[in-house]
Amino acid sequence: MRFGLALPHYDFSIVGERPLSWATVREVAHLAEDRGFDSLWVSDHLFLDIAKYGGSPEPEAAFEPIVTLAALARELDRIRLGALVFCEALRPASVLAKALATLDRISGGRIDVGLGAGWYEPEYAAIGMDFPAPGERLARLREALEVLKALLGEDGGPLVFDGRYHRTDGARNLPTAVQRPRPPVFIGGKGDRLLRLVAERADGWNTCWVWTPEEYSERRGVLDRECERIGRDPESVWCSLGLYALCGEDEADLARRFERLRTCTPRGVLDRVSLDQWRRGRLVGTVDQVREQIAGWSDLGVETLMLGVGAVPFHLGHRDDLELLAHAVGAAERAPTAG
């Protein structure tokens, strides 16, 4: 099992720090690498509100993901870098491929590529685009995936692609990415049609942030059946899962940390939520309980767990919560030692 961290990069990410400083983003990224995490993850929004999580409907500022990953690629030596997930509508696929190939070179081959159909309607309005129906968003995603995979390949084109939403005419992407045959490209989502696309075209599948094993197993079953339908080995799909996570040394410490999390969470998110309620669908427990849960996720075919160490996506409660989680998941034991 590998472990990633959802990196704080929004103005709601650290309560009491608005605007969020680059120094804080950088500090948390270094802490994750130093404590042995395998990957760091940002998301792709022009801005974002947290009303769907019970918080404020006011849009909050966000660090741009490609620029953020490029800066981190020069800051960090080992950890892999990626996005959960790049929004198809915000980034023409051929231009995104160019940026990602450059990122892969800057990082020395440490980029993982997530792509999604988009869901946050306000940013579509912000760029003057009508919010497409689900079927159209999925069709757009399929075309973008094909362009992205082709232009991130070993030869970087030339690519001629005549789709309804994406077109290229002899596009070249030089210099090419470092990874061979190309950086892995996964899709984020959970619907039946999206899982069919994963099986047919993608290297991997991701979904976030609240999942019970039973709910995940049902969706994984759909993916496995789609793979079998086309003759693909289901084990060839890189399956990653994002979960909110909180760990305590024992039950009393876990309860204390949860109450502390309330105090550093955006207002409204954890109102009237108990620890027992918070456990469901999240990686929450004592050190031994967290390790037992991880073993269960591994048995379900999850290869990478991406941890959100807070109460909304890309939020961080306390740094020592991150430190204890690193110990619980075994990341700290894998961390490189000085010298």
Query: In percent, how much of the chain has pLDDT > 70?
Result: 97
pLDDT (mean) for 216-221? 98
Residue 37 maps to a domain? yes
Query: 221: how many CB neighbours lie within 10 A of its CB?
Result: 12
Q: What is the model's pLDDT at position 287?
A: 97
Q: What is the model's pLDDT at position 127?
A: 96
Q: What is the model's pLDDT at position 332?
A: 57
> Tens digits of per-residue pLDDT, 259-272?
999 999 999 999 99
Spacing of C-alpha 315 from chain mean position? 13
Residue 173 maps to a domain? no
Q: What angle do CA 119, 310, 59 make, to 5 degrees?
A: 45
Residue 146 maps to a domain? no
On whether the CB atoms of residues 62 and 16 are closer than 8 A, the answer is: no
Residue 52 maps to a domain? yes
Domain that holds residue 11: 2-84+208-334
Which residues are CB-contacts of 55 (< 8 A; sequence separation ≥ 6)?
A: 12, 49, 266, 267, 268, 269, 312
Using pLDDT thresholds of 50, 70 and 90, give the confidence band for residue 339: very low
Q: What is the model's pLDDT at position 216?
A: 98
Using pLDDT thresholds of 50, 70 and 90, give the confidence band for residue 336: low
On whether the CB atoms of residues 118 and 124 are closer than 8 A, the answer is: yes
pTM of the prediction? 0.95
Q: What is the model's pLDDT at position 271?
A: 94
Residue 331 has pLDDT above 90, yes or no: no
> Tens digits of per-residue pLDDT, 297-309?
999 999 999 999 9
> Tens digits of per-residue pLDDT, 96-111?
999 999 999 999 999 9
Residue 91 maps to a domain? no
Residue 25 has pLDDT above 60, yes or no: yes
Query: In percent, how much of the chain has pLDDT > 90?
Result: 97
How far apart are the C-alpha atoms of 276 and 278, rounded to whole Å?
5
Average per-residue pLDDT in the chain? Answer: 96
Residue 185 maps to a domain? no
* Overall number of domains in the chain: 1
CATH number for the domain including 318? Answer: 3.20.20.30
Using pLDDT thresholds of 50, 70 and 90, give the confidence band for residue 197: very high
Residue 58 has pLDDT above 60, yes or no: yes
Residue 101 maps to a domain? no
Using pLDDT thresholds of 50, 70 and 90, give the confidence band for residue 338: very low
How far apart are the C-alpha atoms of 331 and 3, rounded to whole Å?
7
Residue 284: beta bridge partners? Answer: 246
Residue 215 maps to a domain? yes
pLDDT (mean) for 121-136? 97
Residue 335 has pLDDT above 80, yes or no: no
Query: 338: how many CB neighbours lie within 10 A of its CB?
Result: 4
Q: What is the model's pLDDT at position 330?
A: 86
Residue 205: beta bridge partners? Answer: 187, 239
**In the block, residue with structure tokens 């496995």:** 224
